[in-house]
Amino acid sequence: MAYSDKVIDHYKNPRNVGSFSKSEQGVGTGIVGAPECGDVMKLQIKVNEKTEVIEEARFKTFGCGSAIASSSLITEWVKGKSIEEALAIKNTEIVSELSLPPVKIHCSVLAEDAIKAAIADYKKKTDQAGNETHGHHRDQ
Amino acid sequence: MATIETNKHTDHLCWSCYQPTGGKPFCPDCATILPVPPQSNYFSILGLDAKRMSLEPERLEEAFYALSRQVHPDHYQSRSPKERQIAEERAAVVNVAYRTLRDPIARTEYLLELETSSPQEHRDQPPAELLSQLIEIEEIVEAYRGSAGAERGALKDFLKEVHRSLEARREATETELHEAFELWDRLVAEEGSEEAKASLLKRLRELLHHRSYLTTTIRDLSAALAGEPRPGS
Ligand code: FES
């Protein structure tokens, strides 16, 4: 299949590949998969807990070129956005930015799901930390 | 509605002698070959019980060969163009039906297609532990691809072990799938509740998804151990 130039660019020079430690303060981790093809993706955000702005994002995608490009692109997009703004990103925006063909739409869905999962994880972590008034740290 | 009723009615009449067909491939009255009825599915086309999931491969194969012989183009050379065309269509449908039902995975996908709404509505994520484990494994695979010397040897031994255990898990998933088939057949036979069916269908879908994730990781692992890059999806 012919990939668009933007996909190839992100695929060959993926931005923000890597990981944060899951237990680090302000880090939210989203792990998702696409059952159609069995590909998996891990996407992490580092949030400034005061401003709720995403300062950094990292990903590791074990999947096709479109999934790698989608996750690379979305990590660039979310940087500097509030978590609310990041939640509003739709996979269709990725599809049009990367000119993904219909058979590759599920790859962009994976990136949207991953960001949502990372934010959900971040919220869960901060809620938990807020509830633990005695300062114990519960390891996940 | 009246129109639907009439359509249904004519579908069940032989196009040649106008006698009722009873949904058979050949008219019981005049033995003319009949088109595949629109409301049929792969199970009915192969003459199987409705949506039966535990299928013996030998029996399925027999049914397929018997039906294929009946509609073989050789028997229709001297027939009318319409009969030839119907025979061809039947042969094609019988082929697809057999190929789909023969494979337990494709069969499950087909059942889910018949029984549930579009896959878009089933984007629930699998248990987080499974995906986390697979990501961890993929990370080690990645490290292995970039490794050298003694470290490479150690990683290789480790990954071979992982490969075996993933294969075992995939087999377990397939065993569970076959157990679920039997449960399904029992539910259908005993006219079980819709809730019971829905939850079993959900389980079937989960098993397919698990298997898909395991298969993709196993494939990548095999490629890495053979010194090859990640197979493209
Ligand atoms: S084909 Fe699997 S994510 Fe693209």
Q: What is the third-level CATH fold of B1-102?
A: Helix Hairpins (1.10.287)
For residues B93 and B176, is the Cβ–Cβ distance under 8 A? no
CA A46 to chain B, closest CA, distance in angstroms equals: 19
Give A37's contacts in chain B (Cβ within 8 Å). Answer: 212, 216, 233
Burial (CB < 10 A; 0-12, 13-18, 19+), residue A93, is middle
Kindly report the CATH class assigned to A5-128.
alpha beta
> What is d(CA B178, CA B54) in angstroms, rounded to the nearest whole number?
7
Report the residue from B131, B215, B232 with minimal CB separation from A40: B131
Higher pLDDT, A34 or B75: A34
CB-based pocket (< 6 A), ligand 1: A 34, 37, 39, 63-64, 66-67, 104, 107, 110; B 233
Q: Is A42 on the interface with B (CB under 8 A)?
A: yes
For residues A21 and A27, is the Cβ–Cβ distance under 8 A? yes
Burial (CB < 10 A; 0-12, 13-18, 19+), residue B225, is middle
Which candidate in A25, A36, A37, A132 is catalytic?
A37
The residue type of B227 is: G
Strands (E), chain A: 27-34, 39-48, 53-62
For residues A97 and A79, is the Cβ–Cβ distance under 8 A? no
Ligand 1 centroid from CA B65, angstroms:
37
Q: Which of B82-91, B103-112, B130-139 is predicted with the least confidence, judged by mean pLDDT?
A: B82-91
DSSP class per residue in B112-132: HHHHS--GGG--PPPPHHHHH
CB–CB contact A62 B125 (8 Å): no
Query: Which of A66, A68, A91, A94 maximizes ligand 1 atoms within 8 Å of its Cβ, making it the mutation to test the pocket?
Result: A66
CB–CB contact B135 A62 (8 Å): yes
ipTM of the complex as predicted: 0.84
On the question of pLDDT at B135 being above 50, the answer is yes
Report the residue from A40, A65, A109 with minimal CB separation from B138: A40
CB–CB contact A40 B134 (8 Å): yes
Q: What mean pLDDT do residues B115-120 have?
A: 68
Q: Reduced to 3 states, what is the DSSP secondary structure of residue A29?
A: strand
- Write phi, then psi, for A59 (nearest 5 degrees): -145, 160
Give the domain ranges of chain B. Answer: 1-102, 127-225
pLDDT of residue B40: 86
In this structure, which residue's CA is closest to atom 3 in ligand 1? A107
> What is d(CA B83, CA B175) in angstroms, rounded to the nearest whole number?
44
> What is d(CA A66, CA A30) in angstroms, rounded to the nearest whole number?
18
> What is the band of B134 on the pLDDT scale with cuts at 50, 70, 90?
very high
> What is the band of B122 on the pLDDT scale with cuts at 50, 70, 90?
low
pLDDT of residue B11: 57
Fill in the DSSP letter of residue A82.
B
- Write phi, then psi, for A39 (nearest 5 degrees): -80, 150
**Atom number in ligand 1 closest to CA A37:** 2
Active site residue A64: no
On the question of pLDDT at B110 being above 60, the answer is yes
> What is d(CA A92, CA B109) in angstroms, rounded to the nearest whole number?
27
> What is the band of A69 on the pLDDT scale with cuts at 50, 70, 90?
very high
Indicate the helix (H) or strand (E) that contains B107.
Answer: helix B104-115
The partner residues of A27 in beta bridges, in order of sequence, read A46
Q: List, in order, residues 6 or more apart from A123 with CB less than 8 Å away.
A: A28, A83
On the question of pLDDT at A60 being above 90, the answer is yes
Is the pTM for the entire model greater than 0.95?
no
